[in-house]
Chain A
Amino acid sequence: MVYELLNGLSPAEVDQVLALGTRVTVPSGGSLFRLGDPADRLFLTERGRIRLTLPMLVRGREEDILIEEKSPGETVGWSALVPPYRFTLSATTPLETEVIALTREALCAFCDSSPAVGYKISMNLAILVGQRLQLVQTMWLREMQRTVELKAAGVGEHG
């Protein structure tokens, strides 16, 4: 298994980091965390799939809209390493899923004691955060562009 957060670490270093975590099995239809929950641990997906959703009001009803799906090897919940340490999405499991939960406390303590490993993990984290930022920024701009075009065409303006 190749974990994106542990990319570049030696097998021994990967084992050391994984030993910090706890294996958690979430049943099908289960919830890993909800938007707004305190984020004190991040998760390395070991098996199964994780749906990241955001609540959207659809016809007055709150619906969870799928934003991203995570597969084995991918990281979920990096809000645990970024202040204010609150999850900004909800994570559910459409099928039985196994994750390795790493607490912020344990991971930070390990990175403090092994700065070289900590540097690699930080770089991998920066890639994850940067990729999300680039995607969201692009999607936001495309939606704005569409709104501008609709406004310019006078669509949606009544009276």
Chain B
Amino acid sequence: MDMLWMGLCMTFIGVAVTAMAFVAATRPRSSTPAVQPELPAAKVAPARFFSDRVAASIPLQPLVPIEVLLYQIENHVRLEQAAAESFVAFPTQALLHSKTTSPFVN
């Protein structure tokens, strides 16, 4: 009889521990909807990161004098024209897709 009671007690304890473990395990899942509203905030961070990059690059541009920029553009045109002339003189895919050395686009 004692053994029977002991077995019942152990079963109850086991069930109780299992139930508590189940509740503990399922609580985060049930609270997921509460966390979800924070996700958009987490998405905003990368957007801010990218916008920071853009904002950081914009102030750099005015540092290049317009004369230098125009020189770079014209130099780029010259180099591309030379590359095109090489291709026209001897057309190959390698020449057509050869990488430009122009600093304007590199």
Q: Which residues of A contact B (CB under 8 A)?
A: 56, 58-59, 61, 63, 65-68, 131, 134-136, 138-139, 141-143, 145-146, 158-159
B49-73 contacts to A, CB under 8 A, are 50-51, 54, 61, 66, 69-70, 73
Contact of B81 with A142 in the complex, beta carbons under 8 Å: no
Chain A residues with Cβ below 8 Å from B97 are: 142, 145
The number of inter-chain residue pairs (CB within 8 angstroms) is 52
By secondary structure, the B interface counts as: helix
Chain B residues with Cβ below 8 Å from A158 are: 50-51, 54
Q: In the complex, how many angstroms separate the beta carbon of B13 from the nearest chain A beta carbon?
A: 56
Q: Does B20 contact A (CB under 8 A)?
A: no
Contact of A138 with B87 in the complex, beta carbons under 8 Å: yes
Q: Sample 20 A-B pairs with CB under 8 A, ordered by A number.
A: A58-B73, A59-B61, A61-B66, A63-B70, A65-B70, A66-B74, A66-B78, A67-B77, A135-B85, A136-B84, A138-B83, A138-B84, A138-B87, A139-B80, A139-B81, A142-B80, A142-B84, A142-B100, A145-B97, A159-B47
CA distance A98 to B83 in the complex (A): 30
Chain A residues with Cβ below 8 Å from B78 are: 66
- Other contacts beyond A56-B73, A142-B83: 14, CB < 8 A: A58-B66, A59-B69, A65-B73, A65-B77, A131-B88, A134-B88, A135-B84, A138-B96, A139-B80, A139-B84, A142-B97, A142-B100, A146-B100, A158-B50
Contact of A142 with B73 in the complex, beta carbons under 8 Å: no
Closest-by-CB residue of B relative to A157 is B50
CA distance A143 to B81 in the complex (A): 12
Q: In the complex, how many angstroms separate the beta carbon of B74 from the nearest chain A beta carbon?
A: 5
CA distance A135 to B88 in the complex (A): 7
Closest-by-CB residue of A relative to B75 is A66
Chain B residues with Cβ below 8 Å from A58 are: 66, 69-70, 73
Contact of A138 with B47 in the complex, beta carbons under 8 Å: no
Chain B residues with Cβ below 8 Å from A139 are: 80-81, 84
CA distance A159 to B49 in the complex (A): 10
Chain B residues with Cβ below 8 Å from A65 are: 70, 73-74, 77
CA distance A67 to B87 in the complex (A): 18
CA distance A59 to B54 in the complex (A): 16
Chain A residues with Cβ below 8 Å from B70 are: 58, 63, 65
